[in-house]
Structure 1
């Protein structure tokens, strides 16, 4: 019996070995050399052969960049046959040298093989459309959404945005009526010559904006082009926050300080997520405002002011059924903690089964 079993194992192992594929590759790196961005996508080819005695399957190819598109044989490669892995590389917007890895997973040994494509991209000449992609009539701008970023609650934020006159006439910008938004909007030069660049200046006054958090104002910037009057539709957006201050640990102890028991909580319909907010500083902690990124959330705090050494509870309730797929929501706290005046919490909602 032992002799028969040993003979069976020998036959079985021999049959497995006989069916073992081998992936033979001449080059694991494809060098494009120097290529021009204007020439568009380039193709690298990696020929290979199955020098084993069993069918070779390419399971998949892992790549780390959307600039690559990979094609590989979906059918098994029989012993003695050849195949090709093709990698299409797009140089658009990727000037300079590159060296991108690819991992080929197959039924050969080793099951994972590392390939590379490399080269150097000579960038194309930049155009007006590249610098000013957003076209508003004959005026071009990088984006009609003028993002100011963080605007201090107790001060002003000034930002400048470039515009371009693509028309054959001089464009004359008119003053923006005051009071439209809590900001001063101006254009220099007011008379913008054809094919010339100007600047939109925004000075936003955070003291004139009620509350904290995200804002988005729409406005129309009037201008005259030849005998025609027109308006430039723009949006001014940003977030009102208190500026964080750098302090030593000893200095921070002399102020209010918010400490959270956790930053992330699961969330389900009808079951509130709770956070403990503790004031570990020596001054009262004031919660100025709580904002969420969804009207489906209702935040509630037991106390807007927390004495030193005391805690309060923040509960957040979802007042509608979760979406069909998992989703994350954010809750933002605005306080008088000088080191971290803005705290962002995450709620992870799971779909109902």
Structure 2
């Protein structure tokens, strides 16, 4: 027992000694806990005070916060021997409910290592009004957004997403009509069908990824109707990212799968005139052991078009992808993305970046 106690004491002295080596600046505290703070009361701040223990002046060169939610301040002038300075942390709790733990990395002249300070706390969220929760008002129905974002859906599945709606009327019940306008692969359901004044309900959207028969970021339109005398027609866009489904594969199956490889992922045309189109042939190869199928190619701009010379590549086979950029009507820096969808299970959606600077 005495041996263990002695070891602990020795380790403590060693730790203290190490902390004091080349210690030119000492903070009164290395962390601060705000405790519980209310989102509704806005930003909170704390100053970490320090003392210059060296025999020469020092200066804080930078304070970098680990999050954009935290802004910083510090003593800008030089701090002489024995003098004090500060580092200030200001935390903004808006839209950040729950616990937080953020760091401030302090860089000081003549001090080799940076110093890390921490702020902690817990944000008590503001109780939002219905207008804040559902800011989009169409007629007398409130919605959270101007569109319905279904997020990711696989090609082998149907998924249903729910979206909150609210009858903003003071005294009129509102009924959702059973008929609506939507593609066959989108179904709408309203629960309940009739919303009483100040009552909340749901719009349920069922999306069939297989029936959509497309890949990537997709936009569809839906229109539904209510019993309102005015603004009874509600038109919204439905956003979806459809990705190809691949069953779980063993290491051996992955080793035998197709593998898409590009000559390069960045195509930089440099400075170009705005008078005519420019093109490049990009080499593509199947580095896998099964046939590679190019499913689809999409660009973020109609000014960038593509044309593969082959849509099926045998194992080890190469092909080319013609990429054409049309700068007409454009000036300055341009950056476009091309997404290639294939049956490569490791990366079924791969992106190329096309850059150019269009001269006036």
Please state whether the residue corresponding to 1:65 is helix, strand or coil.
coil
CA distance in 2 between counterparts of 1:194 and 1:65 reads 42
* Residue of structure 2 equivalent to 1:12: none
Could you say what the CA RMSD is over the residues aligned between the two structures, in angstroms? 3.6
CA distance in 2 between counterparts of 1:212 and 1:281 reads 24
Q: How much does 1:174 deviate?
A: 2.0
* Residue of structure 2 equivalent to 1:197: 200
CA contact under 8 A between 1:299 and 1:317: conserved in structure 2? yes
Deviations 1:248-289 (A, max 9, x none): 3555688x734324562332254626131327455x544332
- Aligned counterpart for 1:187 among listed residues 186, 190, 196: 190
CA distance in 1 between counterparts of 2:37 and 2:214 reads 53
* Residue of structure 2 equivalent to 1:75: 77
Q: How much does 1:129 deviate?
A: 4.5
CA distance in 2 between counterparts of 1:262 and 1:246 reads 29
CA distance in 2 between counterparts of 1:122 and 1:31 reads 14
Deviations 1:16-73 (A, max 9, x none): xxxxx95443222222233233332111012234454544322110111122111123
Question: Unaligned 5+ residue runs, structure 2?
Answer: 1-22, 271-277
Please state whether the residue corresponding to 2:207 is helix, strand or coil.
strand
CA contact under 8 A between 2:180 and 2:225: conserved in structure 1? no
Q: How much does 1:191 deviate?
A: 0.6
CA distance in 2 between counterparts of 1:79 and 1:251 reads 67
* Residue of structure 1 equivalent to 2:11: none
CA contact under 8 A between 1:149 and 1:239: conserved in structure 2? yes
* Residue of structure 1 equivalent to 2:217: 214
Please state whether the residue corresponding to 1:92 is helix, strand or coil.
coil
Deviations 1:204-227 (A, max 9, x none): 3456657544322334332234x4
Mapping of residues 132-211 of structure 1, within 5 Å: 132-151=134-153, 156-168=158-170, 169-178=172-181, 182-206=185-209, 209=212, 211=214
Moved more, 154-163 or 60-69: 154-163
TM-score (norm 1): 0.77
* Residue of structure 2 equivalent to 1:349: 355
* Residue of structure 2 equivalent to 1:34: 36
Question: Unaligned 5+ residue runs, structure 1?
Answer: 1-20
Deviations 1:301-331 (A, max 9, x none): 112233455332223233329975584x432
CA contact under 8 A between 2:333 and 2:357: conserved in structure 1? yes
CA distance in 2 between counterparts of 1:89 and 1:300 reads 51
Q: Aligned pair 1:334/2:337, yes or no?
A: no
CA 1:46 to 1:52, structure 2 compared with 1: closer, same or farther past 3 Å?
same
CA distance in 2 between counterparts of 1:252 and 1:62 reads 43
Q: Aligned pair 1:272/2:280, yes or no?
A: yes
* Residue of structure 2 equivalent to 1:295: 302
CA distance in 1 between counterparts of 2:74 and 2:56 reads 19
Moved more, 304-313 or 53-62: 304-313
Deviations 1:224-252 (A, max 9, x none): 34x44523331112244432222335556
Please state whether the residue corresponding to 1:38 is helix, strand or coil.
helix
